[in-house]
Amino acid sequence: MTTIDAHTHAWGENSETRPWVGDDLPPDWSGAYTHEGLIDSMDAADVDEAVVVTPPLYGRGPAANEYTFASIAAHPDRLWGVGTMDFFAADAVDRLRRLVGRDRILGVRMHAALRYDPVPSAMDRTTGWILDDRLRPIWETASELGTTVFVFPKAQQLCMIETILKGHPGITVVIDHMAWPDGTTAPDEPPWTRLRALAAHPNVYMKLSSLPRSSAEGWPYSDLHPYVRRLVEWFGSDRLMIGSDYPWMDRWAGYGECVSWLDECDGLSTGDRAWIRHQTFRGLFG
């Protein structure tokens, strides 16, 4: 069965042409994880295509997405990209237009759960910078262009996304990592159940990604399957996409385990799995 991994990362060696701005690497990791290495991992796990999400390592500056662009250029039939940017730059709207105008760039990512620093790295589940009025032109431009905004929130910030959607109903939002369940959440209790209200917006999608890091168990991460079943109930499988978040998962799981858990999740039909594996991606991005 076709598999499109909606969330991976790749980066090169620290160099003068593409310098690392920070040192936010996966746990226990050092050095590069190149696009060639990603393709090798995809082949071993029977993943057909993947989305390279620009890692925080490159910061938010004008050159942050250069390695993502290079990765796509090297594998134009296998890789897509999601970029990052400085949303508060004086020319932020122009930067957004240039970014999403690139071939096979699907949209821009907002690390809502991370404090807004030059290098997004410090977790803060209460930070509210995505509600800053200065971002209004970003939301309006994203809606105008028909591009997608990929938002990485914690459950405590889901109400902020609801506020944004009420003010900008034309935008398409993809929520990363199921809002990253942790010890403060349960699949049938607030704040995580605020996703049900977000599901009422037909332009909101969800990545089933980063499960090994959220799980207190090993593969196939059965403690998170109730969350997955709730998302199928609320969103429908046609608004869900699988993602590995590899190699950030390397401490907890191999690449294949990050996507193969879907086959072991009870309560899903063959059709559900097909939508999650590739049909939702094709429907949203073509």
- Given the structure tokens 């193969």, which residue do they identify? 260
In sequence order, the β-bridge partners of residue 108 are 83, 149
> Looking at residues 9-26, what average pLDDT do you find?
94
What pTM did the predictor assign?
0.97
Residue 181 in this model has a pLDDT that exceeds 90: yes
Q: Which amino acid is at 14?
A: N
For residues 100 and 210, what is the distance between their CA atoms, to the nearest angstrom? 25
The mean pLDDT of the chain is 96
What is the SS3 assignment for the chain?
CCCEEEEECCECCCCCCCCCCCCCCCCCCCCCECHHHHHHHHHHCCCCEEEEECCHHHCCCCCCCHHHHHHHHHCCCCEEEEECCCCCCCCHHHHHHHHHCCCCEEEEEECCCECCCCCCCCECCCCCHHHCHHHHHHHHHHHHHCCEEEECCCHHHHHHHHHHHHHCCCCEEEEHHHHCCCCCCECCECCHHHHHHHHCCCCEEEEEECHHHHCCCCCCCHHHHHHHHHHHHHHCHHHEEEECCECCCCCCCCHHHHHHHHHHCCCCCHHHHHHHHHHHHHHHHC
Report the percentage of the chain scoring pLDDT > 70. 100
CATH of the domain at 213: 3.20.20.140
Most distant CA atoms of the chain, gap in Å? 50
Q: 105: Cβ–Cβ under 8 A, 6 or more apart, which residues?
A: 65, 68, 69, 72, 80, 81, 82, 83, 99
The pair of structure tokens assigned to 145 is 């262009």
The per-residue pLDDT for 140 is 97
What is the predicted pLDDT for the residue at 43?
Answer: 98
Quote the pLDDT of residue 103.
96
pLDDT at 24: 86
Q: How many domains does the chain have?
A: 1
Side chain identity at residue 34, one-letter code: T
pLDDT in tens, 98-152: 999 999 999 999 999 999 999 988 899 889 999 999 999 999 999 999 999 999 9
Q: What is the pLDDT of residue 18?
A: 95
Residue range 6-13: average pLDDT?
98
CA distance 159 to 195: 9
Taking each helix axis as running N to C, give the angle between helix 66-74 and helix 35-44, from 0 to 180 degrees, rounded to the nearest 10. 50
Gap between the Cα atoms of 10 and 38, Å rounded? 7
Domain encompassing residue 122 = 4-285
Q: What pLDDT does residue 178 have?
A: 98
Q: Is the bond preceding residue 55 a cis peptide, omega within 30 degrees? A: no
pLDDT for the residue 275: 98
Dihedral sign for Cα atoms in the order 187, 193, 195, 201: positive
Q: What angle do CA 135, 137, 141 make, to 5 degrees?
A: 125
The reported pLDDT for the residue numbered 194 is 97
Which residue type occupies 104? R
Query: pLDDT by residue (tens digit) across 215-274?
Result: 999 999 999 999 999 999 999 999 999 999 999 999 999 999 999 999 999 999 999 999
Rounded-to-integer distance, Cα 33 and Cα 42, Å: 13
Terminal C-alpha separation, the chain: 18
Q: Which pLDDT value is given to residue 251?
A: 94
Residue 241 burial (CB count, 10 A) = 26
- Residue pair 150/126 in contact by the 8 Å Cβ criterion: no
